[in-house]
Structure 1
Amino acid sequence: MPIATFVNQTTRSSDNAGNNLLVQTTVNAWGHYQKVKFIFICLTYMIPPIMVYTWSFTAATPSFRCHHPNTIDDAYTDRSNEIFRKFYQPTENECAAHQHLLSVKECQRCYRKIKPAKNVSIVQDLQSCDGYVFDRSVYKRTLVEEWSMVCDRVGYRSFVQMIYFVGFMCGALLFGTMADRYGRRSVMGISFVLMMISGFLCAFGPQQKFGVRSSYIIFMIARFLLACSTRGISESGFVLGSEMVNPDKRLMVGMVMDYFFTSGEFFLVFMAYFLRTWRSLTFVITLFTIPFCFFYLILPESPRWLVSKGRFDEAEQILRHIAAVNKRDFDSDAYERLKDDQKQHIADRTVPLGIASLFQTKIIRIITVNLFFQWLAQNLVYYGVSQSTGSWQFDPYLSFALSALVELFAYIFIHIILDRLGRKLPYCAFAIAFGLLALLVLPVQSVLAERKTTLRVLMFILNISLKFCASASFAIIYLYSTELFPTSVRTTGLGMCSMTGRLGAILGTFSNDYLARIWMNFPTVLFGVVSLVAGIAALVFPETLNKPLPQTIDDIESMNLPLFSTNKQQRDLSRGDNIPLKAINT
């Protein structure tokens, strides 16, 4: 989700002294130069969703059943399916007797009768399948089929995606730190090369001659590296884009990148529709990343980062080029004032506050713990819903495309309302609405159980609505968190939130793969309960619209939180532990 970087990186990169002077130096904060470079950066934002959601197609689970025990060349055809159903498929009573913890559907496709049924009234023992037959009418070949990652082996599928989200966490920490130390442009270049290498490793690393075990390990490592590189591109790319514009343009920058993010989803589903084997799709998607490796030659380093590191000559060269392209004069006097201000800032720089500062006083503890839960809940909901479009009981390619379209509409909608209604009301409304809609699954399934067509259409409408609410609340919480943490510990707080959020994404993957085996709608109901609790818990947050960003923990303590109050003694304890205001620029 691209707007995540709006939180994680704009604050980190905006701690440069002399921010306003730097804007004056560029003379035109949204000139021709910035527009052209911004387009290139936005194009890179098509890559992360492609890499995240390729898994929805390469590891899709087609319809399947047990292999017919008396047939060598069994196939998933109407005739063979009918023969299997008649003689070997367990009945509901047999599933209830032997595999009552699984749904009937899961039991019937993962177990078979030990011997052909002669008397249907007799309850027979069941045994797990020793082989599977897959439907190839939609997917020609997926990793699930190749490695039989179904039934009692579904954990292999889940583990790969969980490792991917662990790679997200590691990549965010590693490349975020590297971008601050070595520059945004360099990290983007390294990330694209790593992405290309890991992509080809995903496509060609697993080979039959290596065996399933070795192929699985190779693929898992490649996916981990792919996730790391994805975070390097998205984080560094957003920083680079946001540092080219005025602070008042940063919301626009974040939302436009979200639009390109959804464009990547449309590109993916288009390619997946024509490339229906997992290896060919992975290979072509990786080929698509090769031109982006040359963006290193096109994109400049961030002049703000260069100034923050005291590399004034390099920054001046870039700024003079920007002014020339924008057909403006370079303000040398303003730049000299900027250099003096930054040198003073470097001299006065203090050691950043640590994680313990997030729990220093009552109000900051409440906000911190609540935001941790909000991030976990929204990652659980968003990734859980986004990765389950294949279970919408419609064509999976159409379902994915509609999901991306709904996500785009959600971004446009919140782009319109956030600066009008604030952050708190829309966020709570979308989170609570998601919870209520998800719980509607229970009465809908029970009332319309016999009306299959009506149930199918209504469930599709519910899934679309859930996707809209999940996308909207997921995007808002990132921006909202930026405005709730004080500048003195904002980067630390948001980094911890991001870590917690990835745990939510991992739980979402686990829920879709395991809980759905018990009941198809179990994950949706779980997501709904968590989102409902999150929406109610967010009511304690203050509104931040048109209010100055909190600079210190003392500023947070002065906020009015519903149901909670502060006292002067707590605020006094936090004084003296904050970064001087002159060293902070939000």
Structure 2
Amino acid sequence: MATTSKGKTTLSTVRTTASMENNGNESTCSDKLNFDDVIVRYLGQFGRYQRYIFFLVCIPSIITSMDSLSWTFSGAKNNHRCKGITETDNADYWNPSSISLYRRQNCSLSEHPNLKECPFQECYLGESKNCPYGHIYDTSSSSYTAIQRWDIVCDKAVLRAVIQSMYYVGQMIGSIMFGFLGDRIGRKKVFFIALVVQFVSGLGMALSPHCRLGVGIAHPGIFVIAVVIGVELIGPKYRQLSSVLASIFWSCGQIVLGILAYNVRDYRFLHACIAFPALLFVSYWWLIPESSRWLVAHKRYKEADQVLRKASKINGTYLPPNWYEHLVNDDLINNRESKHHNFLDLIKTPVIRKRALASFFCWPVCSMLYYGISMNTNFLGGDLYLTFIFGGLSEFPALILTGVLVDRIGRKPVLIGGFITAAFAMLSSVVLDGEVYPAIGITQSLLAKSALALTYSTLYIFTPELFPTVIRNTAMGGCSTIARIGAITASYVSMWLVDSFGKMIMVIPFAGLAICASITVLLCLPETSGKELHETIEDVEKNE
């Protein structure tokens, strides 16, 4: 862990350089600088250029958020009953035409061996069959869902969870693939590859649920890379904004999805409406540059100079010529061959290994809780569409609170408080049953969701700061990958087990894991508030 004196020196340097910028002094690179010093001194902590770029890369996160949770509506449960032999596909769910011959049930049909002669009462005593003529669905809440299209009910009900879990399997693949590519070929190229994959797969969801895998693959290449670009461009003082603002865009996506799903009840048109806006973001190729920090880390100084020079012009600041010749880190300024880093670098050295293992526990726990509640916001009661929209709205105060607290009291207290609050909200449902008091149930659900939004947002701030530049994207990709294990588990719990065994199958384990995660943060991770980002693994190891 960096010493307190070093932390004070860093903060003092930031204030001094920021003051120089505010006074309009055009200083020169006569002293040694790290890349954070370059950003703060010559661009500003969060100038016009940084705001412009970060806003652009975060807008696609709205579409990513909508894709992420779209199965909540396209795969929504429908009331259903067995279809009778004389009924057509458009038969009324509430007024079966052959009630005298069949007993209507959800997943089986009681058939009398002699349909023409038996009295009405005796027809309930025949042989039970698994709806041999199909199902009739209640379309009062939605006109057409994937559940109806593929008949995902009864003995096939688990497929509802399987399809959603495919999305998170795709995220695991995308996190590994895009995390590696982001460090190897650059953030910008990965961002645009992911946009293309999202458009093709999102449109394909209107035709086949198998495309859910491709949608999941694209997610890390868009949302995670956007956060990394923000962290690498913004000065330490406002670095937490990259996560908070990205999370606000994510929450906006949930609200837009809820409103869109309420008005577009056919799941095929819903997925088409989500997919097509991705085409607009292809124009970003001419608007967004490569990460200057990544370019410097890979010794591509001329390209980094072009990016920062444009930024300084837009920000109205002065960037000295050949500033990169004065970078303090020898690994960046010497003409030695660049090292290629991989996932194994996260476990080779003791300090990085401890941070990685702690992160690899907290991320899946947070993911499991957040997505478990997001996919089933009304599991404690309430209308599906309203509770989903309110769930998105409830994240705004939590995210604002994140932005206020992470610098004032630190990353660790906010993270611990978020986990504990979520655990309390869920455990309170054991005493105060939301099924008896619906308003209380909705409040519990929204409190847990807002606490988890705060926790997730803080993780996106905290985790990149724990790792050096050379493996930062790999670390974020690794955390995002293993987090999908929690999300996959949440799919089966919220979309299958809760329907079969009740809400406690979700409440008790989730609350217990949240408490364990808070203890892990307390004991295993350092505070990073106000500290400079390290460039190399050696920097982290010697400053612990």
State how 1:157-556 maps to structure 2 within 5 Å.
Answer: 157-203=160-206, 206=207, 216=208, 219-220=209-210, 222-338=211-327, 344-345=333-334, 347=336, 352=341, 355=344, 358=347, 369-389=357-377, 391=379, 393-445=381-433, 454-482=436-464, 495-521=477-503, 522-536=505-519, 538-541=521-524, 544=527, 546=529
Match of 2:103?
88
> In the TM superposition, what is the alpha-carbon distance from 1:492 to its structure 2 partner?
5.9
1:129 aligns with 2:145: no
Relative distance call for 1:462 and 1:87 in structure 2 (3 A) is farther
Range that drifts further, 65-74 or 370-379: 65-74
- The answer to whether the Cα contact below 8 Å between 1:384 and 1:511 also exists between their aligned partners in 2 is yes
Displacement of 1:223: 2.1
In the TM superposition, residue 58 of structure 1 has moved relative to its aligned partner by 1.6
| 1:568-583 equivalent positions in 2, closer than 5 A | 579-581=537-539
How far residue 398 of structure 1 moved from its aligned partner, in angstroms, is 1.2
**Equivalent residue letter for 2:255:** F
- SS for the counterpart of 2:152 is coil
Aligned counterpart, 1:63: 79
Distance 1:226 1:383 in 2: 16
Aligned-partner Cα distance in 2 for 1:301–1:179: 11
Q: Take 1:474 and 1:279, find their aligned partners in 2: how far apart are those partners?
A: 31
The answer (yes or no) to whether the contact 1:310–1:342 under 8 Å persists in 2 is: no
Specify the code of the residue in structure 2 equivalent to 1:189: F
Report the counterpart of residue 49 of structure 1 in structure 2.
Answer: 65
Residue identity opposite 2:254 in structure 1: E
What's the offset of the Cα at 1:25?
Answer: 7.2
Partner Cα separation in structure 1 for residue 177 and residue 424 of structure 2: 38
Q: Do the aligned partners of 1:61 and 1:144 also contact (CA within 8 Å) in 2?
A: yes
Range with greater deviation from structure 2 (311-320 or 140-149): 311-320
Name the TM-score, length of structure 2 as normaliser: 0.81
2:205 aligned counterpart, secondary structure: helix
Q: Which SS does the other structure have where 2:288 is aligned?
A: coil
Where structure 1 has 5 or more consecutive residues not aligned to the other structure, the ranges are 1-16, 90-107, 207-215, 553-577
Q: Would you say the 8 A contact 1:196–1:290 is kept in 2?
A: yes
Number of the residue aligned with 2:4? none
Distance 1:117 1:380 in 2: 53
Q: 3-state DSSP class of the match of 2:106? A: helix
One-letter amino acid matched to 1:344 = I
Q: Distance in 2 between matches of 1:191 and 1:353?
A: 21
Contact 1:367 1:541 in 2 (8 A): yes
Shift in CA distance, 111/50, structure 1 to aligned 2, threshold 3 Å: same
Residue 3 of structure 2: aligned partner? none
Say if 1:85 and 1:492 are closer, same or farther in 2 by CA, change over 3 A. farther
CA drift of 1:85 comes to 12
**1:455-481 Cα deviation digits (max 9, x unpaired):** 333222222222122222333344444
Q: Is the 8 A contact 2:243 2:461 kept in 1?
A: no
Opposite residue 417 of structure 1, the aligned amino acid is: L
Equivalent pair of 1:488/1:551 in contact (CA under 8 Å): no
Residues 319 and 507 of structure 1: CA distance in aligned 2, closer, same or farther (over 3 Å): same
User: SS where residue 243 of structure 1 aligns?
Assistant: helix
Q: Is the 8 A contact 1:482 1:494 kept in 2?
A: yes
Q: Deviations over 1:392-429 (max 9, x none)?
A: 54332211110101122221122222223334444333
Moved more, 133-142 or 339-348: 339-348
Identity percentage of aligned residues = 25
- Indicate the residue corresponding to 1:30 in structure 2: 46
- Which amino acid in the other structure matches residue 131 of structure 2? C
- Residues 168, 227 of structure 1: 8 Å contact kept: yes
Write the distance in 1 (CA, Å) between the matches of 2:237 and 2:326. Answer: 23
Distance 1:346 1:50, change over 3 A: farther
Provide the rounded CA distance (Å) in 2 between the counterparts of 1:187 and 1:354.
Answer: 18
8 Å CA contact retained: 2:137, 2:148: yes
Q: Label 1:530 to 1:343 Cα distance change in 2 as closer, same or farther (>3 A).
A: closer
**More displaced, 334-343 or 228-237?**
334-343
Cα deviation, 1:521-554, whole Å, max 9, x if unaligned, reads 13234323332443455543466265857979xx
Contact between 2:228 and 2:473, CA under 8 Å: does it hold in 1? Answer: no
In structure 1, the residue corresponding to 2:78 is in which secondary structure? coil
Contact 1:22 1:304 in 2 (8 A): no
Greater shift, 33-42 or 21-30, is seen at 21-30
Q: Cα gap change, 1:87/1:402 in structure 2, threshold over 3 Å: closer, same or farther? A: same
Amino acid at match of 1:321: K
Are the structure 2 counterparts of residues 27 and 379 from structure 1 closer, same or farther at C-alpha, using a change threshold of 3 Å?
A: closer
Partner of 1:560: none
Q: Distance in 2 between matches of 1:484 and 1:176?
A: 16
SS at match of 1:389: coil
C-alpha displacement at 1:282, in angstroms? Answer: 1.0
Give the conservation status (yes or no) of the 8 Å contact 2:74–2:267: yes
Alpha-carbon distance between aligned partners in 2 of 1:355 and 1:226, rounded to the nearest angstrom: 27
Shift of 1:381: 0.8
State the alpha-carbon separation in 1 of the partners of residues 328 and 528 from structure 2.
33
User: For residue 190 of structure 1, what is the amino acid of its counterpart?
Assistant: I
SS of structure 2 residue aligned to 1:347:
coil
Per-residue deviation, 1:356: 8.1
- Alignment-mate amino acid for residue 397 of structure 2: F
Deviation at 1:278, TM superposition (A): 0.8
Structure 2: which amino acid aligns with 1:511? V
2:183/2:473 contact within 8 Å kept: no
